[in-house]
Each structure stands twice: as C-alpha cells, then as structure tokens.
C-alpha cells in the first residue's frame, strides 16, 4: 500500500452541472450558467456536502475549511484554493478535492471529497529481543488510532537507528512494513523489521599536533570514546556522536589544566578501517603555555583577599590551570570559594573570573564577585515517601525553616537519607530529580524539596552454607523499616507494620540433629524519637551435638548449648564531626557442655562470658556502591579480670579446665578500615585492612577458648560453636587458614590480619536492582599467639566476582578466588567458588 500524493481538484467536467477550467476564456457558459472571469461574483454558500470522512466529523472539517453554510465567497477567486491548502496543511488526509456542484440564485453548492490517511491500529517488532522491544515502544511513543504519515515513518526509523547507534550498532537496518487491518476500516498494522548487524567498535584513535602531551594521556582524558588498547579492556569501545563531542571538550580541558589556554581541536575525522572497526583522527592546536601573574578580588566584603587566596591555593608563577581554578572557585570537594559563602547562607553568591590582562605568557585574573544577601530556609517538603513516615525522614534533615541555608548541611542530609537505605540512592543524589532548590531572590529565601523514591529494604533470607562436610540451611526475615507501635493497628498490616525506621530480624539455621540456631534482634535508631541514639537488643540460642550423619553415627547425649543476650546503645557524635558514632554493648553468654569429646578445651561443665564492648566508627560511604568516602572502625571488648581476684598462689596447672574457664576473661581489640576512590569514569578502587587480637589478662590462664578468629573461605558458614568470629578470605576453604592445637584439634586463632584490594565497576544501577562486577587481590593470616604475629606473612589470593541487590532478597554475590599459598593443613588453596548472601568481604 503506497501513500497518495496531493491531489487538489477544482474540476470542470461536462458531467457536472458546473466546473472551473484553468484555461477558460473570458466567459464560459455551462447549462445556462455563465462565469465571467473578468467580473467575479459573490455567492452565498447554500450547502456543503462532505464525503470520505471517517474519523472526523463534519463540524471538524468545517473548522479546518474556515467556511460554513451561509458564508459568502467570491467565484472565481483564490479563496477556493486557500480552503484546499488549509485542509492539506494539517497533514490529516492523503487526498483532498473541492467540487462546485451548482450555482443557483446567487447560492453556491459545494462538495468536499477526502481520503483520510490510514490509522495505526497496532505495531510489532521483528528481529530483536523482548527487552529491546519494550524500550523501543516507550521511545517511539506510538498511539493506536494515530495517523500514518511519511513524517511518522521517517522519525520512527531515525529513533530506532539512533537507539542502536548509542549501543554501538552503527550499521543497524530498519525496514518499516505495514499491511491493512482486516478488522478496522482504513487502519494498518506496522511491522518494524530490525537487523542490528555486528557492533561497530573503535579500533584506534590517532592524535596529531600533540607535541607536549603524549597520546596516551589524551586518549585517557576522553571518558566515553575509547579504542582497543589494553588499558581500555574494561571500557566500552562503541562510538557515540554526542559523547564524542563531550570527550573533545574534555581533551581540550586536559590542555587547559596544563596552562595551554588556547588549545583547541582543529579537525577530526571518523572513518571505517574495516567493516565493523572505526578509526578516529584528531588534530589539536596546542598554542603556548601560560602562567598566573596577579590575582585580584572585587566585590568581596565578607572575606578578605588573603582568606580567599588561601582557599584558591594559587601562587604567582603557577601554571595557568583554568580547570583547577574554576573547581576551587565553585566545586572542589576539598574546599571552594563558593561553598565558603553558601555554607553561611549566601545562596545567591556568584563569582566570575575575568582575564584582565595577557602579556607574553602571563595572565592577570580579576575575580568579580556578587555576594548578595544571606538566604533563609522558608520551607522543607518531602514527597514520595509512601511507606516511611514523614518524621523518620525529617529527623535526618539538618536544616530547619528560618535558619540560614547551608550547602554542607544539604549534602550531609542527602547522605543521611541515602544511608537509611529506605530510598533509592542514585535518584536521591541527583539535583532536580531527588532534591530541588526553589529560591526567591527578592525575599532572600529558599524552599528545599526532597523527591524521594521508596525502596524495599526488608529481606527474606533463604540460604545454604557448605563447610566442606556439613550443609547448613538458613531461613531469615529482616524488616529494616519496621514499626512496633503499629503492631496492634489492624490497618497497618499491609502485610507488616512498616514506616518507623526500626529493624526486626529473625533467623533460624539447622543441619538437622547436628546443629540448630535461633536468633532475634530489634533496633530502634532514634531512642525516644528525638535524638540520634540507637537502642538494640538481641537474644540467641544454638545447639550442636555429635549426631553427625556424614560420620555414620548418632549421639544426642554429646552436646554443646549456647545461650546469649545483648543490649547496646549507639550515639551519633558531634565532634570531631557528625560522621562519628560511638557504640556500647553489654552482653552475656552461657556455654553448657555435655561430654563434648575431642572438639574443645574441656568436655563437661559450663562457662559464662559477660563482656562490655565499645566501638568508635566514622563512616562517610554510601550503602551499596560507594564511589568515594571511607569507613573506619575501632573496637574494644572487655570482660572483668576474674583471675585478679583469686589468690596469688593459685595453682592453675592443677585446676581442671572447667574450673579455669567457668568465668571467661579476655580483652579483644579490633580495627577495620575501608577506603573508596573513583579512579576514572565509574571504576572504583576499594582498599581494606582488618586486624583482630584476642588478649589475655593472665599468662597462666592463657587465651580464652572463646571469642577467637576463624579465617578462610567465604565467611558464610556462621554456625561455629566455639564462640569464634568467622573471617572470610577468598581462594581458600572455610576456616582453613586458622591454626589448630595439634593435640586437641581445636582451633587456636587469637590474632589475624587481612588486606583487600578490590576494583569495582557498576553494570546496572536502576532503582532497586543494582549489579556490579569486581576483581580482587586479597591476603591475610591467622596466628595462635601475638608473639608469632607478622603482618607481612600472609596467604595470598586473587579472583573475580559479581554483586547484585534485589528487592526483598537483599545483596547476593558469587566470587571465584584462587589461593596461591598453602593453608594451615598444608593444602594448596587453588580455585574456590564462594557464595555471598547479605554480607560483603
């Protein structure tokens, strides 16, 4: 079916009562009607008949004509052709004809014959995946009942090609076919036949004229346009025209950073080296290098020139680095002039650097400033929190109406809202999307608006851990935005009372008769609702027996039971800054052993462990994929020194193990530090160091049989009954890097160190589904005695992995690690697969 071309018809046919003729003589007489072209005559419209209209009513057609019954029109005149043009200009019809049926008693009777454009009743895509079809449907925004036009077909084809070009398919082919819909009159069904062909990649980027900056540096300065050199192994090699234009600006900025203020891209060319490989040539003009001379400030009344110069950090004779200068004026994270003002309310502050004089290779710069008036916060609104109660979000907001605006307070507020994990982080941190400023310069006020998007923070844990000989199943429920005060409100169960920011966790683990564990915990992050002080309480019970199916025997009489309770208070500090938290916890555990042969220091009796833990933490990282910031923790756990109250002449050698360890005593020191750095683009480097030491008060007693460390593996098999802290180290089997007592066989890890380097790259960051890939180098070791501790004697590993978060499931991951060294059992680490659920290494 082909589209008809325009056919504007004012016909003169002998079969009609009267018609016009373009080549008519001075007068024409048809069936007694005379038309004198030299003397046009005015007629009143006696009637208009409309034919061929399906989708449009006669009234709509009259509106397009600008003419209706009763109006007057001159015949002959250009008015008739104008009517045709008006109808045709709306592009609703493929054919328009105007006929004069008769002229009777100074009245004209007309007929409009129309051919409407076909309507689109449906459409489909051929040759692509379902996910791509969904995206294209949204991109094309086709509507059922819309007109089929050449413009629509051309635009749709261009949008599809552009969509695939952005994905690297520069040679994608699109053929739009359509057929008549047999069920709907004058309607068609579109079929977008798409052939993506192979991806087109950039093979080589060549530079000309770069005498002072090497080609590799210029290539790395372009963020999205990458060729196939080895350093770009993790980068996309596709060509995107828009990104290429941005990258050329970044290339010029690289020159500007080095003082080449006149640098520019003289020319560039993109061409095919092979059918699916591109070459790019870029010629640059470097110009000469410039240096700062004199810097002056005008318009400054709040700060002196000396103070501003200290913030600017530029001296006379420094390279004329325009990029760094502008960052230090407006956006540098380590301090900038604009933030000095906006942190004190000067939201309307503006600064413009002007090159006042250029002599030789020296530049004088004048900083022209407009300070304005301090702005106060007029209103703070939160929208989008459909689950989380308003006060839970507002208590994280540092600003208040009536107070001066502060940029730092706004940034910290956004970080705190993201740290709650109740809202989508990526969107929350985007200006205009997650938050907005509505300033009023006349009143010197600003309204702050937060547009939050709720995310599911509750998690159901269904997992399994394999120790090499045991399999332990886990079932858990973590409600991270729980509301205890709404438990008895019937309408709050949808399906669980939520919205108050509390955390309730329930967990059950079992290996059948061999092992069982149950735990429950509750945490209120804002005690009494008005201070950032958290209260947490927990209780747990575990039981392990010597009933082991894999060993072929069952003995429930040999067992070890552990009962535990804990309560803690956490406080957000204001000094040295409000990123610090201090946590104190009091806990108690009771260990009951019954004929526990060959597994522990003693076999019968019970031990009690009452301890106090204090931990100082400073955290400035985002929850799932930190791109910057750090997380440092220092902890100390203490028990009373019971042995200090015993007689000095006590003979510990003659005491039974049950007597020695009836009351457990120790001091435990912990350090954990993580640092996140964005290297370039989205590539992030995570560096981490962990250290732990279990100390003893009394050398005659030695180390505590509880609270030691078990190193190696994925850290997922958290069912050890020895009261030990399980530390993962990929590339090795679980617990395999922990020293053992050669006589009793029990684990004796009292000191450990672990180091990690991890490269992370985000693959998907959309809403609540986030995925990133990683590559790691890891090393660590565990020692039985602090005297043997050597931070450089480590077991090394390397590997790859992936992490993802899913709604209601939380964080999942899988790693493959290769251990290069021998473990504590003199076995080579080799390759091991590790599964990760709800934790990170």
> Containing H/E element for 758?
strand 751-766
Tokens for 124, please give them: 């489909």
pLDDT for 720:
52
pLDDT for 73:
84
pLDDT band at 555 (very low <50, low <70, confident <90, very high): low
Biggest distance spanned by C-alpha atoms of the chain = 145
pLDDT for 118:
82
| CA-wise closest residue to 232 among 647, 739, 680 | 680
Q: Does domain 376-451 have CATH number 3.10.20.310?
A: yes
pLDDT band at 18 (very low <50, low <70, confident <90, very high): very low
pLDDT for 541:
93
Class of domain 8-116: alpha beta
Length of the chain: 841
pLDDT for 2:
37
Range of lowest pLDDT (169-178, 598-607, 655-664): 598-607
Q: Does domain 119-195 have CATH number 3.40.50.300?
A: no
pLDDT band at 660 (very low <50, low <70, confident <90, very high): confident
Say if CB 94 and CB 3 are below 8 A apart: yes
Parallel/antiparallel/unpaired status of strands 8-9 and 93-104: parallel
What whole-number distance in Å separates Cα of residue 693 and Cα of residue 708? 8
pLDDT band at 665 (very low <50, low <70, confident <90, very high): very high
- Cα dihedral 214→219→223→228 (10° resolution): -150
Q: Return the CATH number of the domain spanning residue range 291-370.
A: 3.10.20.310
* Fold match between domain 8-116 and domain 459-837: no
Say if CB 817 and CB 714 are below 8 A apart: no
Residue 340 has pLDDT above 70, yes or no: yes
In the CATH scheme, what architecture does the domain 201-285 have? Roll (3.10)
What whole-number distance in Å separates Cα of residue 712 and Cα of residue 727? 6
pLDDT band at 16 (very low <50, low <70, confident <90, very high): very low
Domain locations in the chain?
A: 8-116, 119-195, 201-285, 291-370, 376-451, 459-837
CA dihedral sign of residues 75, 79, 85, 87: negative
pLDDT for 732:
92
Residue 348 has pLDDT above 90, yes or no: yes
Parallel/antiparallel/unpaired status of strands 41-51 and 107-116: parallel
State mean pLDDT over 642-652: 85
| pTM for this model (two decimals) | 0.65
Percent of the chain with pLDDT over 70: 89
| CA-wise closest residue to 91 among 42, 136, 39, 56 | 56
What whole-number distance in Å separates Cα of residue 685 and Cα of residue 530? 38
Say if CB 835 and CB 716 are below 8 A apart: yes
Residue 4 has pLDDT above 70, yes or no: no
Say if CB 70 and CB 92 are below 8 A apart: no
State mean pLDDT over 793-799: 95
Phi/psi zone of residue 699: left (φ > 0), alpha (ψ -120 to 50 degrees), beta?
alpha
pLDDT for 719:
47
Most confident range (mean pLDDT) of 49-53, 341-345, 578-582, 679-683 is 341-345
Instruction: Give tens-digit pLDDT for 172-187.
Output: 999 999 888 888 888 8
Class of domain 459-837: mainly beta
State mean pLDDT over 726-730: 91
What's the DSSP call for residue 387? S
Parallel/antiparallel/unpaired status of strands 119-126 and 33-36: unpaired
pLDDT for 297:
97
Average pLDDT, the chain: 85
Computed on alpha carbons and rounded to an integer, the radius of gyration of the chain in Å comes to: 39
Beta bridge partners of residue 192, listed in sequence order: 125, 176
pLDDT for 487:
86
CA angle 717, 720, 724 (to 5 degrees): 110
pLDDT for 439:
95
């Amino acid at each position: 079916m082909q589209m008809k071309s325009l056919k504007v018809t004012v016909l003169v046919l002998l079969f009609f009562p009267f018609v016009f003729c373009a080549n008519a003589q001075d007068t024409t007489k048809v069936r007694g009607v005379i038309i004198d072209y030299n003397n046009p005559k005015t007629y009143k419209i006696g009637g208009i008949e409309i034919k061929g209209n399906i989708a449009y009513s006669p009234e709509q057609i009259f509106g397009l004509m600008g003419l209706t019954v009763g109006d007057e029109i001159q015949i002959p005149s250009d008015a008739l052709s104008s009517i045709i043009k008006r109808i045709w200009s709306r592009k609703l019809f493929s054919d328009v004809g105007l006929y004069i049926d008769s002229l009777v008693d100074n009245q004209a009777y007309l007929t409009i014959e129309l051919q409407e454009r076909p309507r689109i009743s449906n459409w489909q895509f051929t040759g692509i995946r379902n996910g791509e079809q969904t995206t294209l449907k949204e991109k094309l925004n086709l509507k059922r009942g819309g007109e089929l036009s050449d413009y629509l077909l051309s635009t749709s084809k261009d949008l599809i090609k552009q969509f695939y070009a952005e994905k690297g398919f520069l040679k994608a082919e699109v053929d739009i076919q359509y057929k008549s819909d047999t069920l709907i009159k004058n309607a068609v069904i579109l079929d977008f036949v798409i052939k993506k062909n192979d991806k087109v990649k950039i093979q080589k980027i060549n530079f000309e004229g770069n005498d002072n900056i090497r080609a590799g540096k210029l290539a790395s300065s372009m963020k999205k346009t990458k060729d196939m050199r080895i350093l770009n192994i993790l980068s996309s090699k596709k060509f995107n025209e828009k990104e290429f234009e941005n990258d050329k600006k970044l290339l010029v900025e690289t020159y500007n950073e080095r003082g080449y203020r006149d640098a520019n891209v003289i020319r560039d060319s993109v061409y095919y080296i092979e059918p699916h490989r591109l070459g790019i040539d870029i010629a640059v003009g470097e110009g000469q290098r410039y240096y700062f001379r004199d810097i002056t400030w005008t318009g400054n009344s709040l700060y002196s020139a000396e103070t501003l110069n200290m913030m600017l950090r530029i001296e006379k004779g420094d390279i004329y680095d325009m990029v760094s200068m502008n960052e230090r004026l407006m956006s540098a994270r380590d301090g900038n002039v604009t933030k000095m003002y906006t942190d004190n309310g000067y939201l309307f502050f503006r600064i413009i650097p002007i090159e006042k004089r250029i002599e030789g290779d020296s530049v004088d710069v004048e900083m022209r400033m407009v300070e304005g008036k301090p702005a106060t916060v007029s209103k703070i609104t939160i929208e989008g929190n459909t689950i989380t109660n308003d006060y839970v979000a507002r208590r994280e907001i540092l600003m208040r109406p009536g107070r001066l605006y502060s940029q730092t307070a706004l940034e910290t507020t956004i970080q705190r809202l993201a740290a709650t994990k109740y809202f989508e982080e990526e969107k929350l941190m985007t200006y205009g999307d997650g938050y907005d400023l509505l300033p009023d310069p006349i009143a010197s006020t600003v309204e702050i608006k937060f547009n939050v998007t709720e995310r599911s923070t509750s998690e159901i844990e269904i997992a399994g851990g394999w120790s090499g000989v045991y399999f332990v199943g886990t079932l858990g429920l973590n409600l991270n935005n729980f509301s205890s005060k709404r438990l008895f409100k019937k309408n709050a169960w949808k399906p669980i009372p939520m919205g108050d920011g509390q955390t309730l966790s329930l967990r059950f683990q079992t290996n059948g008769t061999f092992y069982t564990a149950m735990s429950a915990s509750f945490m209120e992050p804002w005690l009494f609702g008005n201070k950032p002080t958290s209260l947490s309480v927990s209780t747990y019970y575990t039981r392990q027996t010597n009933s082991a199916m894999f060993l072929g025997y069952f003995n429930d009489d040999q067992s070890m039971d552990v009962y535990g309770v804990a309560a803690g208070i956490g406080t957000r500090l204001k000094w040295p800054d409000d990123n610090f938290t201090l946590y104190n916890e009091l806990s108690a555990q009771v260990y009951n052993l019954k004929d526990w042969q060959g597994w522990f220091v003693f076999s019968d009796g019970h031990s009690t462990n009452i301890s106090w833990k204090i931990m100082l933490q400073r955290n400035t990282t985002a929850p799932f994929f930190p791109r910057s910031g750090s997380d440092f923790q220092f902890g100390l756990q203490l028990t009373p020194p019971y042995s200090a109250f015993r007689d000095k002449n006590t003979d510990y050698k003659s005491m039974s193990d049950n007597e020695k360890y009836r009351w457990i005593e120790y001091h435990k020191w912990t350090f954990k530090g993580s640092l996140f750095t964005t290297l370039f683009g989205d590539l992030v480097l995570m560096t981490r160091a962990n250290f732990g030491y279990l100390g003893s008060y009394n050398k005659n007693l030695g180390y505590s049989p509880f609270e030691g460390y078990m190193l190696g593996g994925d850290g997922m098999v958290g069912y050890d009954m020895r009261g030990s802290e399980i530390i993962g180290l990929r590339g090795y089997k679980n617990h395999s890097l922990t020293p053992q007592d050669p006589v009793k066989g029990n684990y004796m890890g009292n000191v450990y160190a672990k180091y990690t380097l991890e490269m992370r790259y985000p693959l998907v960051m959309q809403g609540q589904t986030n995925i990133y890939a990683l590559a790691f180098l890891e090393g660590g070791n565990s020692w039985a005695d602090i005297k043997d501790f050597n931070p450089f004697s480590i077991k090394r590993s390397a590997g790859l992995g992936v992490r993802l978060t899913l709604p209601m499931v939380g964080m999942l991951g899988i790693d493959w690690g290769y251990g290069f060294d021998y473990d504590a059992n003199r076995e080579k680490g080799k390759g091991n697969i590790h599964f990760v659920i709800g934790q990170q290494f």
